[in-house]
Structure 1
């Protein structure tokens, strides 16, 4: 299959990445608007059916398992940001609620891992399973910041973020090659934003916003991405195999390192990237129990 001109990929992908970086920043700074945006997005589900933007169990599961929790995430941010009072708001502000977001991350990785198995991409599926095993525990390494605009923070390591990025890219390369270029955009934006802000703990919230936006875009306007950056011509079965193999080889020593950090107690500092970030998480841990 003949692909698009190379310059079109450069322009469309660069423009999309810049847009996503601005989107993350805006949604972080305006939790109320963000909440309304995702509620409105969720209400567009009839368009998904009419336009054929969401087809099959995996697409429905992936789309709903992102948009429903992201609405709840926005409500939680508002609850903490404005210190809302009342029984419902008090429950939302409890520390153990953070386990919900840990579970959603776990679920989203497992959905793709199961799909990887059905595609025969077994080594990459093993990498996905081990990513689930090595998600930093909640609520110890998760929380909502005390300072406004109230961010969801998760102290994932640089290595875990990299492994998640390369695992997810490999999965999409197998599952939907035509959408691979757009997936690269959302993965790059999620990696870049915390670096730009010098806030590595913002990786998960950056990833949440970029993935949810891409899924909503594909659901409502399924022809936009193929027109701008269709990438089916990039697919190569040998590349897929060796990519999955590389991901598995890399994550095995990481699992041992992760386990050792937990066993020795060094995770308190290493997962938080040093004492400065430990101070930040201490503020997060002041949430209600």
Structure 2
């Protein structure tokens, strides 16, 4: 038993460290993130040996193709490509990324409904409803005078990010418990990364890059089952109550979000009156 626990601790810690370093590299090295995921699509023939359901195929395409798009959006906004891909400097690419985030949540939500994980499925819908719109809350970081990392920045509330983590972990627990341990790693790594950077607005970029490398590895070759097989973690009661707790937490957040939204016109009106507008 102790040996098994130590095995999980070591393998998960090493994977989290790898993901953290991967995030650092994809944040700073344009020559790396520019080509890595395009070349990664060349692994497509291997996917036929490792993907066994519509969900896994849909997830692989809906993560790896958009990450290539993210790379070119970042490059077009790095301050050194003034005459290249000018249209990617506008707002519409951020709407595309917003829709992709919704799509990825809805894919998992559909699967939750299919397998009867209803509580967690409703949580997925709540997450989609409460995502801040790109109009004000999403942008590509500009050159700060020293660096031009062109980060994807999204002002997602910390509460939303944490709810996403517990929702996604519960989804994986019900979808394929074998990969729960490795999925926990890709959920924890962005949290650690943004805390180290002291910037919650980097969570989304951390999430999409860790998810992309994880999906690529799973689609190409299964290294996770030999190293951190968590199949025995599954328990039907745990899945049920995890989904129920998630629904309570997400439902509370939805109420908070709705009240804040309804209160916004009141705040704007009275702020304007206070300044004599």
TM-score under structure 1 normalisation?
A: 0.87
Q: How many residues align?
A: 262
Q: Which runs of 5+ in 1 are unaligned?
A: 269-289
Task: Look up the match of 1:59.
Answer: 56
- Deviation track 1:28-52 (CA, whole Å, cap 9, x = no partner) reads 0012311211001111101112xx2
- Deviation track 1:265-284 (CA, whole Å, cap 9, x = no partner) reads 39x9xxxxxxxxxxxxxxxx
Cα deviation for residue 174 of structure 1 reads 0.3
Task: Look up the match of 1:73.
Answer: 70
Partners of 1:216 and 1:91 in 2: CA distance: 29
User: Post-superposition, which runs of at least 4 consecutive aligned residues in structure 1 deviate over 4 A?
Assistant: none
- Deviation track 1:102-161 (CA, whole Å, cap 9, x = no partner) reads 000000000000000011000000001100000011121001011221100111111101
Q: 1:236 to 1:3 in 2, by over 3 A?
A: farther
Q: What SS does the aligned partner of 1:43 have? A: helix
- 1:108 and 2:104 are equivalent in the alignment: yes
- Deviation track 1:70-112 (CA, whole Å, cap 9, x = no partner) reads 00000011110144244x6111111222100100000000000
CA contact (8 A) 2:181 2:228 kept: yes
Cα deviation for residue 55 of structure 1 reads 1.9
**1:135-150 map, 5 Å:** 135-147=131-143, 148-150=148-150
Cα deviation for residue 221 of structure 1 reads 1.2
Partners of 2:97 and 2:182 in 1: CA distance: 25
CA contact (8 A) 1:3 1:232 kept: no
Partners of 1:253 and 1:74 in 2: CA distance: 36
Q: 1:119 to 1:143 in 2, by over 3 A?
A: same
Partners of 2:238 and 2:3 in 1: CA distance: 20
Cα deviation for residue 199 of structure 1 reads 0.8
**1:1-289 map, 5 Å:** 5-49=4-48, 52-86=49-83, 89-147=85-143, 148-222=148-222, 224-265=223-264
TM-score under structure 2 normalisation?
A: 0.91
Cα deviation for residue 253 of structure 1 reads 1.6
CA contact (8 A) 1:76 1:93 kept: yes
Partners of 2:205 and 2:121 in 1: CA distance: 24
